[in-house]
Structure 1
Amino acid sequence: MQAPADRTRPEWVRLANEGALGPLLEESAEPFSLDGVLGRAQALTGLDDFGSDDFHEPLDLLLRDLEAHARLTALGRWQTYRYLLRLLRVRLQIRDYETRDPGVADERVEAPLFVVGAPRTGTSILHALLARDPAHRVPEGWELLMPVPPPSPDPSAFAADPRIPAAEAELRFFDQVTGTLDAIHVYGARLPKECLSAQSFAFRSQEFPARYHVPNYTAWLLGCDMAPAYDLHRRVLRILQRGFPRDRRWVLKSPAHLHSLPELLDAYPDARLAVTHRDPITVLGSVTSLIATLRGVHSDDVSYPAIGRYHADLYVHDLDRLVEHDTGGVFAPGRVHHSQYADFMTAPLDTVRALYEALGMELTDDAEDRMRTYLDARPKDKHGVHRYEFDDLGLDRAHESSRFGRYRTHFGVPAADHA
């Protein structure tokens, strides 16, 4: 069953998937195989040391699922091949850089702030606002896609880095194919990027189920040890901050952290958390629309009900665990702040002030002015209207609502603001 959203796409996409681009897509025509993609990445870089081989199992599972279940179009297969090779090239580059500059291992990522919460709960806009504070360092899209070598601390050189247009081309590809993604979520090389992109170098990342129907990989991912993903995440941050002053705090973000908060806190014991909340019934409709659109870049066979069911089960589990973490002492006092999406939409700067106060951070007048300016320049629906309906998911509203009762009651989450 295809997604009920508008499937109209640019004419060039149809032509590409019908074979009109011929030779341009031939490099990805061979079946995906572990030895094949590893060897190709090594040949492209002239490097051969991937470090630990703990990524072989998930990568092999992913490749098998891409062949057996993802139902990729010709263009989707081409883009996937390029994406996998980038991840493997960067993994080789990370290991090579660490070997050539062993001092990078001594870099300390101190007291980072993580924005977490289910997707579509305001994590992105909160992350973007926090990025306005000059005291913060928020990774941009190009930095997490291509972190080696470290960017220049000089602002002019940073802004002129040649990796920016390459990352922009990859990130803008999604909206160019769909023509509708920007109305849901805008991706760009100079925009804040979330942690999934760094964890993908370990091939333990929700970025893959977001893009593809890969059931065996996804089942493995939900039960795997995420420590290697957080280890690689920390190594990327160490590289990115190499040569920069130590007067800025990393501010990071990903909804996927909900699934692995103990592992996150093991990797970053002094981390602070900004947790966002919104009625899960609204979240399910919105996130399903987003994921269906992302998968539609790579496949013409996208099932709303399957995506909706997966996320319903995932977030019942993750939000119930969030309650258990909150009541079980997982979060250190003074290191977590909870906010409601409805409050943020009504009074965003009040929400930000409360966050700073709760976490013992200073919100300067300059930072607040920068946030206000950002909000004023970002009118609602600037990139189009995101339309979605819970009823498109084929789920029983009353039943699903009851499954989230414990979470809603514990955190005082108001009823759905949009269905």
Structure 2
Amino acid sequence: MSWTPDPRPEWVAAVNRGDAGPVVDEARRPFDPDLLMAEALVRQGRTPDDRAALGDDDFVEPLTLFCHGLEHEADLTVMGRWMSRRMILRLLEVRIQLNDYLAADPRTLDEPIDEPIFVIGAPRTGTTVMHGVLAQDPAHRAPEGWELLRPVPPPHPDPDIRAADPRIALAGAELVMPQTVASGMLAIHEYSGRMFKECLSAMSFEFRSEEMVSRTDVPTYQGWYDTADLRPAYRTYRKVLQVLQRRMPTRRWVLKSPAHLQGLPALLEVFDDARFVITHRDPTAILPSVTSLIATMRWAHSDRVDFAAIGRYHLELYGRSLDSLIDLIDSGRLAPDRTAQVPHRLASTDKLAAARSVYEQLGMKLAPGTEAAIADYAAATPPGKHGEHRYQFEDLGLTRDEVRARFARYIDRFDIPVANDEGTRRWLTKSTPVANDE
């Protein structure tokens, strides 16, 4: 195994050495959930004991477990502590803002969220690509990064005023920070305040989100999360969407996260008329790619990253979740007329053809103007725009036979082309090699 992260920038190394006083002082404060809740309340102009302003207590247990993991398990650097602390405070402050807004305007909860389209599939299978493609339809709306990080108050309906919202820069700075701390992150996955954002950011307000385990190694929290009830996270997410559309024209939401594979039953309970676009890819390409992403994200927060352990976890996590996906399809809970299947090779090599396929499968009309917008989007987002994402299957410490055996049902069910034993980008069945790794 040879996975080695890129060196961090010198300014990050200086912070981690303790050479940046204010950041170091803040980072050294303990991950105490009571102190963090009190600080968030004070930041929002409340008394530190006004816990009712934070809403119901569903979030307290996962917050407590997450804080325990950050303090005692994650082995965070100074920068990792600082970023994690800032994230927790933002999540708590937005909880207060959401509760205040809904109390002042309870009719927000009457906002219809009709037939949202969720783009799902294992990570690195083309979910980001398809999310961006479907967002080009003027009848659709995809949430931007700043909207999911700081949704209160609702965006202004005037596009010029909306574009000048200071929350864009505030959220953008937070989203870009891991790319700045961990060299090479940008080539794997780009983030910004104005880019379309996946659902995890809103589900994190309940501290029931894969965002926590993606950034940091917190096994106690992860063990709890793997069997947690995700309905509170989806209910809060629905409220966030209702707030975001309160002052805007109602359009169909196009939403995205690979993490929905682990929460589909809860998602279907909260969004019972949802439609789905499901992306597919060879598992022997999925595992090293997603493990590289998570390892690099964790490297932004810690000096200790076990690439092979992350890979083994993903082997079982996505093995289970893709088996569950098949069960939901075969049982009819994910009905054929409400789902579209898209192979990664199509999404990555011909965005317009992928869009046409999705619209046809879902019985939707693809207007000429939307086709033109998708073509423009494809031209503006070429594969490898920010460099090539490099990774090696061998760094997983697994064999291709192990991976193919664990995902045999998935491979057979969706007729997935599988890479050969040499680990090249050739295929066992006739298909087009891919250039885009998202």
Could you say which TM-score interval applies, normalised by the shorter chain? over 0.9
Q: Deviations over 1:302-349 (max 9, x none)?
A: 110111011111001001111111111111341001111122233321
Instruction: Output one character per residue of 1:236-283: Cα deviation in whole Å (capped at 9) or x when no partner.
Output: 00000001122x210000000001111111111111000000011110
Quote the residue 1:39 is aligned against.
38
Q: Distance in 1 between matches of 2:135 and 2:377?
A: 10
Structure 2: distance between partners of 1:332 and 1:401: 27
Residue type of the alignment partner of 1:302:
V
| CA deviation profile, 1:146-189 (whole Å, cap 9, x unmatched) | 00000011111111111011011111111111121110000000
Aligned to 1:26: 25
Equivalent in the alignment of 1:71: 75
Is contact 1:200–1:207 with CA below 8 Å preserved after alignment?
yes
Letter in 2 for 1:21: A
Percent identity among equivalent residues? 50
| Alpha-carbon distance in structure 1 between the residues aligned to 2:346 and 2:327 | 24
Match of 1:400 in 2: 403
Please state whether the residue corresponding to 2:114 is helix, strand or coil: coil
What is the aligned partner in structure 2 of residue 16 from structure 1?
15
Is the 2:329–2:335 Cα contact (8 Å) retained in structure 1?
no
Whole-angstrom distance in 2 between the partners of 1:418 and 1:206: 29
State the distance in 2 between where 1:24 and 1:348 align.
43
Q: Which moved more, 1:52-61 or 1:356-365?
A: 356-365
Q: Which residue of 217, 228, 235 maps to 1:224?
A: 228
- Which position in structure 1 is the counterpart of 2:165? 161
Cα drift, residue 97 of structure 1 = 0.5
Q: Does 1:314 align with 2:281?
A: no
Q: Secondary structure at the match of 1:380?
A: coil
The superposition leaves residues 26-57 of structure 1 with CA deviations (integer Å, 9 ceiling, x where unpaired) of 12312211111111100100244111101111
What are the equivalent positions in structure 2 for 1:242-391 lying under 5 Å apart? Answer: 242-246=246-250, 248-391=251-394
| Cα drift, residue 125 of structure 1 | 0.8
Q: SS at 1:225's partner residue?
A: coil
Extract unaligned runs of 5+ from structure 2. 427-438
Which amino acid is 1:377 matched to? Answer: A
Q: Pick from 72, 96, 100: which aligns with 1:92?
A: 96
Q: In the alignment, does 2:149 pair up with 1:145?
A: yes
2: CA distance, partners of 1:145 / 1:32: 21
Equivalent position SS for 2:154: coil
Specify the code of the residue in structure 1 equivalent to 2:34.
D
What code does the residue aligned with 1:356 have?
Y
Match of 1:61 in 2: 65
| Alignment-derived partner of residue 413 in structure 1 | 416
Cα deviation code 1:122-158 (max 9, x no counterpart) = 0001101111111111000000000000001111111
In the alignment, is residue 101 of structure 1 matched against residue 100 of structure 2? Answer: no
For 1:16, the aligned partner's letter is V
For normalisation by structure 1, the TM-score amounts to 0.97
Q: Secondary structure at the match of 2:278?
A: strand
Distance in 2 of aligned mates of 1:302 and 1:74: 16
Q: Which amino acid aligns with 1:311?
A: H
**Residue 123 of structure 1 pairs with residue 127 of structure 2:** yes
Which residue type is aligned with residue 281 of structure 1?
T
Residue 396 of structure 1 deviates from its aligned partner by 2.2
2-structure distance, mates of 1:343, 1:236: 32
Q: How far is the alpha carbon of 1:418 from its aligned partner? A: 3.8
Between stretches 180-189 and 6-15, larger displacement belongs to 6-15
1:360 Cα deviation (Å)? 2.0
Q: How far 1:207 sits from its partner (Å)?
A: 0.4
Equivalent-residue separation in structure 2 for 1:343 and 1:98 (angstroms): 42
| One-letter code aligned to 2:24 | L
| C-alpha distance after superposition, 1:79-113 (max 9, x if no partner) | 11111000000011100110111111111111100
| Residue identity opposite 1:122 in structure 2 | G
- The answer to whether the 8 Å contact 1:262/1:330 transfers is no
Q: Which runs of 5+ in 1 are unaligned?
A: none
Corresponding residue SS for 2:57: coil
In 1, Cα distance between the equivalents of 2:84 and 2:319?
30
Deviation at 1:382, TM superposition (A): 1.2
Equivalenced residues, count:
417
For the 8 Å contact 1:150–1:240, the answer to whether it is kept is yes
Indicate if the aligned counterparts of 1:282 and 1:418 stay in contact, CA closer than 8 A: no
1:114 aligns with 2:113: no
